[in-house]
Amino acid sequence: MKEKYNYNINLDVKFGHQEIIDIPSIVKECKEKWFNQTLTKVNDSVVRIGIVEGEFHWHKHDNDDEFFFVLEGQFLIDLEDRTIVLNPNQGVTISKGVMHRPRAPKKTVLLMAETSSVEPTGD
């Protein structure tokens, strides 16, 4: 049985092709500490927005890489041997199978790109 976490993760695709995605409006409407919304599907991948503050749990994705790109704030990704620090306009790809723990010391807005089949809470 999967552990229950206090995250708001929405896997439904909110915007279709040719629809404008207004990030500032989405951020303004968000009142939660850990919010994740799939914005759009691009072929077999999705682009998601994360509006986060606090810690996610340690996890990995056996079959999927993940790309994180910070728009606002600061995003830290703990690995088993180091921490990657991302500031605005910086991104990184975490390889499949790598244990990691995302966290944000303050409210952070980021975009993520990953396959549409990925389980955001890990495998």
User: Is pLDDT of 51 > 80?
Assistant: yes
User: Is pLDDT of 2 > 60?
Assistant: no
Q: Is 93 domain-assigned?
A: yes
pLDDT band at 117 (very low <50, low <70, confident <90, very high): confident
> In which domain, by residue range, is 87 found?
8-13+34-115
pLDDT band at 113 (very low <50, low <70, confident <90, very high): very high
- Angle at Cα 104 formed by Cα 34 and Cα 41, nearest 5°? 55
Q: Is 105 domain-assigned?
A: yes
Q: Is 75 domain-assigned?
A: yes
User: Is pLDDT of 20 > 70?
Assistant: yes
User: Is pLDDT of 103 > 60?
Assistant: yes
Number of domains in the chain: 1
Q: Is 66 domain-assigned?
A: yes
CATH number for the domain spanning 83: value is: 2.60.120.10
Q: Is 23 domain-assigned?
A: no
Q: Write the single-letter amino acid at 102.
A: P
Q: Are 112 and 47 in contact (CB under 8 A)?
A: yes
